[in-house]
Amino acid sequence: GAGVSQSPSNKVTEKGKDVELRCDPISGHTALYWYRQSLGQGLEFLIYFQGNSAPDKSGLPSDRFSAERTGGSVSTLTIQRTQQEDSAVYLCASSSIDTQYFGPGTRLTVL
Amino acid sequence: QKEVEQNSGPLSVPEGAIASLNCTYSDRGSQSFFWYRQYSGKSPELIMSIYSNGDKEDGRFTAQLNKASQYVSLLIRDSQPSDSATYLCAVNPLRGNTPLVFGKGTRLSVIA
């Protein structure tokens, strides 16, 4: 079946602009996760959803970051007033039990 | 602070050799363990999961878990140049759908 999809694949924006990143999980997967990976670095956990609820938002770097999930499916990660340090690959994963499968990621570049 | 430690490498092995990748974790209560492969510019791809002490084999890959030593490893037999990638160890400190804790990865280079 279809895997996790993310859009856009690449996003270039100017400092101070808002961006929205979308994740479409594997059908039937109840949990959805957002991670961030900066160049040459490991994966940094941001937030995860169980259904439409976010039990753990502890990884969000600042209040400029927010995320929502509707209908237990698609999730949107929003970054307001982007800064250059937000430049990274944003990865989404989904799972049905505990095994996480990743999407292709969105590469965000803030100029 | 839950941590997963990996040697960053690069680990260089000749084609056909066995590559051994190692990982230690800090949370003794961790429940499940995963190895992901990440090619440059791509997202992580699941290779293996392991839940019980001992070995688990899947083709050329063998995952080994020792909970007493808080140690998990991945062996790649008959290494191929196409195995050259960064290998991420990930640990689930709880049961079920909860965020994984990732190591920073070991870069493997298989030399033809």
Residues in B whose CB is inside 8 Å of some CB of A read 31-32, 34, 36, 42-46, 49, 88, 90, 92, 95-105
CB contact under 8 A, B92 and A45: no
The pLDDT value given to residue B1: 74
pLDDT digits (tens, 9 = 90+) for A88-100: 999 999 998 889 9
Q: Is A6 helix (H, G, I), strand (E, B) or coil?
A: strand
Across chain A, what does the average pLDDT equal? 94
Confidence (pLDDT) at B111: 96
Residue-wise pLDDT tens digits, A23-47: 999 999 999 999 999 987 889 999 9
Which residue in this structure is represented by tokens 């000749």? B14
CA distance B101 to chain A (A): 8
Residue A67: per-residue pLDDT = 97
The pLDDT value recorded for residue A2 is: 85
For residue A94, give the chain B residue with the closest CA. B97
- CA distance, residue A80 to nearest chain B CA (Å): 24
Tell whether the model's pLDDT for residue A1 goes beyond 70. Answer: no
pLDDT of residue B23: 96
- pLDDT confidence of residue A95: 93
Decide if A23 contacts A74 (C-beta within 8 A).
yes
φ/ψ (deg, to 5) at B39: -75, 155
Render pLDDT for B53-95 as a digit per residue (tens, 0 to 9): 999 999 999 999 999 999 999 999 999 999 999 999 999 988 7
A–B CB contacts, 8 A cutoff, strictly below = 54
pLDDT tens readout for residues A49-76: 999 999 888 899 999 999 999 888 999 9
Q: Which residue has the tokens 């895997």?
A: A3
DSSP assigned state of B103: P
Chain A residues in contact with B3 by the CB 8 A cut-off are: none
d(CA B88, CA B71): 14
8 Å CB contact of B43 and A104:
yes
